[in-house]
Amino acid sequence: MCDERFTQKKVLSQITRRHTQEKLYSCTQCEKRFSSWRGLWQHMNIHRGKYECTECGKYCQSSHHLETHIRRHSGEKPFECTVCSKQFTRAGGLVRHTKLHSGEKPYKCPVCDKAFSRSEHLNTHMRIHTGDKPYKCSLCNKYFRQSSSLQIHKRHAHSNRRPYHCPYCGKLFKANGVLKRHVRIHTGAKPYSCRHCSDCFRALSQLKRHLLKSHNEGTWFTCDICQQQFITRGELRLHSLRRHEDVKPYVCSECPKRFCRAAELRLHHRVHSGVKSFSCGLCSKSFKLLQNFVKHFEKCADNVGFNSVV
């Protein structure tokens, strides 16, 4: 707090909220919260863009922002890293990426000494220690640490809009990142390479797992009860729910099987529906589950001599 004096009680209350970090004003578009009406009003300009994307319906503040946004749909990435040749749709993305090569992490957590290359990453990380989850879903009242996590949650849990389609099998997706990972199943691309050996991987999580198991690089997340180790904090949390807390609130309407997450229940429903959403482009065989399709595709590609596109 400070000793500054004010002539108006209203102004004093606003300053007090800044010190106490009380945020009474919530954005109806993204659930971000503010301590003053002025802050919310300024923030709302983000959602009042005049330039609409014809692909997904998103509005942008300027024609330049719209042009940059359209690159996400077209796949155009004009900014390339000179070290690893990774490409980006925006110059800012390239600037942030180069810090990975330089190892620069000027933002350090005062609690656990973990360091970050960007201040916003540190701010988000600090919520792990404080337990703060300022972003609330207006549809199911679930709270999140990041606004991006809230947007992903809304897209996956409360929206059926799927603007991104696979050029190989026509499957539709809610997020561009999910589409990119899916396309690698068709192309066989493995963009994540190990710096210690010649192994390459389709997903970043596979690379992290390889680095930990084969080269002892990285940090394991260990269960305090059974000492089982996991690659990510999310895997550890899911393990605790399944094995030690027995929290499975999602029940199948067709059978007694229960699940920890709604996504697992949706995946399980395919067993009862008989729908085979995953089709092999090499032999036209279809599968209900993604993991079965991936195993088949890899074998089928080897049998027909399919050349992976990297």
pLDDT in tens, 189-199: 888 888 889 89
Q: 7 pLDDT band (50/70/90 cuts)?
A: very low
Is 45's pLDDT higher than 70? no
Three-state DSSP class for residue 252: coil
In this structure, is residue 244 part of a structural domain? yes
Residue 266 belongs to domain with CATH number? 3.30.160.60
List the structure tokens of 21. Answer: 């970090």
281 three-state secondary structure: coil
Spatial CA neighbour of 56 closest among 151, 183, 150, 137 = 151
Quick one: pLDDT at residue 310? Answer: 31
What 3-state DSSP class applies to 228?
coil
Give the chain's mean pLDDT: 77
Q: Is residue 189 part of a domain?
A: no
Rounded distance between C-alpha atoms, residue 52 and residue 175, angstroms: 18
- Please tell me the pTM assigned to this model: 0.44
Give the distance from CA 231 to its chain's centroid: 16
pLDDT of 273 reads 76
**238 domain-assigned:** yes
- With respect to residue 116, please indicate whether it lies within any of the assigned structural domains: no
Residue 49 inside a domain? The answer is no
Q: What is the mean pLDDT of residues 257-272?
A: 79
Arithmetic mean of pLDDT, 78-90:
83
> Which residue, 135, 162, 242, is CA-closest to 250?
242
Q: Is residue 289 part of a domain?
A: yes
For residue 43, give the amino acid letter: H
Of 15 and 62, more confident: 62
Q: Which of 21-30, 64-73, 252-261 has the lowest mean pLDDT?
A: 21-30
Q: Which long-range contacts (CB under 8 A, 24 or more apart) does 279-286 make?
A: 279/169, 281/168, 281/169, 281/186, 282/306
Among 141-145, 151-155, 239-243, 304-308, where is mean pLDDT lowest?
Answer: 304-308
Summarised one tens digit per residue, pLDDT across range 206-229 is 888 898 889 988 888 888 888 888
Report yes or no: 12 and 6 within 8 Å, Cβ to Cβ: yes
- Establish if 22 belongs to a structural domain: no
Q: Say whether pLDDT at 291 is over 80.
A: no
How many structural domains compose the chain? 1
Distance (Å, whole) CA 168 – CA 70: 21
Candidates 68, 101, 70, 71; CA nearest to 85 is: 101
Burial grade of 30 (CB within 10 A; 0-12, 13-18, 19 or more): middle
Residue 155 lies in a domain: no
Looking at the DSSP assignment, which residues form a beta bridge with residue 26? 33
- Which structural domain range is residue 203 located in? 195-304
Query: Tokens 């709302």 correspond to what residue?
Result: 44
